[in-house]
Amino acid sequence: MLPKVPIPTLTQTMAEYLRVLQPIVTPQQLERSRSVIKQFTAPNGPGATLQRHLLDKREAEDNWAYYYWLNDMYMDNPLPLPINSNPGMVLPPRKFTTVNDIARFAARLIDNLMLHKEMLDSGGLVQERATSREKGQPLCMAQYYRLLGSCRRPGEIRDSQYLPQQRSDEHMIICCRNQMYCVPVKAGDRGRLTEDEIASQVLCALNDAPCLRYDPPRVGILTTGTRPQWAKDRQLLLLEPQNVRNIELVEQALALICFDESIPLTFNARGFNGSPAGAHYCAGRDESNMAHEMIHGGGSKYNTGNRWFDKTMQLIICNDGSWGLCYEHSPSEGIAVVQLLEGIVKKIDEMPSREENGSQNYLPPPERLEWSICPEIEQRISEASRDADRNIEDLDFYVYRYRSYGKNFIKACQVSPDVFIQLALQLAYFKLYGHLVSTYESASTRRFMLGRVDCIRSASMEALEWAKAMCQGEGANVTLESDKEDDYSCEGNDIKKVTFSIYSRDHLRELFRCAAARQTEVMVQNILGHGIDIHLLGLREACREKEGNMHELFTDESYKIANCFLLSTSQVACSTNSFMGYGPVTPHGYGASYNPHPNEIIFCISAFFSSDKTSASRFARSLQDSLDAMRDLLS
């Protein structure tokens, strides 16, 4: 049995909290927070009682923080799922010559998902262990059991989760041209269908959808709405028994397989002066373009209606061979999803290619889901389409491969690759804006029972001192609205800014070592269960429950600044040539996921075009300058 998530002492967390505020708030705000904390922790303040409440909760529950965190992070967040919550993953493209190739690939994916499910059901999942920092500690495996057959459900106040049940029959939902088909993959009386049978079922759907004369209602687009709005729309749909059954089938399906026609090559390529972003990859598409397809589907004119964003696993297969996943984040972190899919891809790659054997399909064709649509829902579908299109057009997304070095070089410098990349992100931000901002990095707490993540706050005083010193001599470089039209893409742009610092290399190296030591300390604190964010969240929720009102600790300016993550980052390591990305979490913020390989690092940078402060390609350019400067400093 794994240990329970610890609860740090009040003194520990409050001291750390003041320390993380220092680089991101004004001296006045810091002073105010200091006195608020003093009042909170004083003998007559609420701190000790609330801490006692959490300690009792820890005794009573497997993971005292689980639902506080789940609700705060996901279930109570009213924002639409695409872009704001669901990550998109791009996997190495396939080569399809005919529609049979597409059906065969889909069948192999489904077959392997089924094998995985059977392995889970029989208790055969191999225990994972930490590979560094107290190496060998077992990790919580609960996330793996929530991936297949689960679904989020919208609520007007709070969402909920439909979690997988053990069943004797199983099915998948296939989406093609906004139609949905229910494909049984395991029957109670005969077990799992064969790969050939699944392929022929998929083929039936792929042949049926384009032949239909009518334009189907894009019901799936309703799942792109704000959560309270979609909750209302769903209630309206549920008034019809036919829709009740359809929604049940979708929510209980093991996964969705969405067959897309690729979005245009120039999709949302604004800000790059027409030059495509990222490396060319598949059928003339660049990686940013593929990431757009996986994150949101390209809008109502393209594939956004061909989705059900509440579904945990939506595998997306495009006719040009690119493919990937859009996943609903609440049941699991990306790592479990990546492990599952990469494992399946490796197995498929080892399988011999197969000619169609022309075998007859003796199974009835898969059932097409027919919806009963009232005029009000019809109206809502067009409103939801308009809103989704607006949000999608606003996503500025740039996949950037830094090719000069990867984690081999960083390890040779005796630095943790994750720490190094976090500092590069801090420097990149500082170069653009001249200050640091509240930064989120997800830290896995799977060493503990039902552990999910805590937050590594990478903006430290040590990072600030180092970034300032690195930029001495550089002019102010703050993003202006007019800059946004410029081409800052990193590919094909050889103009290099000459940077210099008035400090000696030895001094800069020393500052870097201090920043890296601090970042390493915070990282280790978090993964060993002594992060401050989960603890502060627990105290805040305990305060709400026990006191009925919020202490100023959770309402003052500093708290707001600390929780507005203008830089939201996470490492999503992949062993194949794949990557995962997501949108920013605030209107003027950046999202930055990264995937360090031995000799390169893949970044997915996101921002919103509507912000006059941010630009994904400009950030990528600054990141390139930062990584180059760090190599020059340390080599």
- Which residues are near ligand COA by CB under 6 A? 131-132, 333-335, 411, 414-418, 442-444, 453, 523, 527, 570-572
Residue 572 CB partners (closer than 8 Å, separation 6+): 87, 334, 335, 338, 579, 580, 593, 594, 595
Kindly give the pairing relationship between strand 395-402 and strand 601-608.
antiparallel
Nearer to ligand COA, 373 or 592 (CB): 592
Of 2 and 172, nearer to ligand COA (C-beta) is 2
Mention every residue, 6+ apart, whose C-beta is less than 8 A from residue 311.
Answer: 151, 152, 173, 250, 251, 253, 255, 256, 328
> Of the two residues 469 and 592, which places its CB atom closer to ligand COA in the complex?
592
* Strand pairing category for 88-91 and 323-327: antiparallel
Nearest-angstrom CA–CA distance, 460 and 468:
12
Instruction: Output b/e per residue, 313-341; b: 16+ Cβ within 10 A.
Output: bbbbbbebbbbbbbbbbbbbbbbbbbbbb
Percent helix, strand and coil across the chain, each rounded to 5? 45, 15, 40
The least distance separating ligand COA from the CB of residue 216, rounded to whole angstroms, comes to 33
Comparing CB distances to ligand COA, the nearer of 63 and 442 is 442
Nearest CA-CA partner of 311 in 300, 301, 325: 325
Pick the catalytic residue from 329, 530, 535, 597. 329
Closest-CB residue for ligand COA?
416
Cα-Cα-Cα-Cα dihedral of 458, 460, 465, 469, to 10°? 10
Interatomic CA distance for residues 109 and 202, integer angstroms: 12
In the complex, the smallest distance separating the C-beta of residue 289 from ligand COA, rounded to whole angstroms, is 22
- C-beta of 182 vs 527, nearer to ligand COA: 527
Considering the complex, state which of residue 413 and residue 564 has its C-beta at the smaller distance from ligand COA: 413
> Cβ 331 to ligand COA, closest distance in Å?
12
* Shortest reach from residue 555's CB to ligand COA, in Å: 28
Q: How far is the CB of 590 from ligand COA (least distance, A)?
A: 16
Least distance between ligand COA and beta carbon 547 (Å): 32
Question: What is the H or E stretch that residue 25 is in?
Answer: none
Q: How far is CA 384 from CA 23, 154, 229, 263, 267, in A?
A: 41, 15, 9, 19, 20
Strands 367-368, 323-327: pairing kind? unpaired
Active site residue 597: no
Could you give the residue numbers annotated as active site? 329
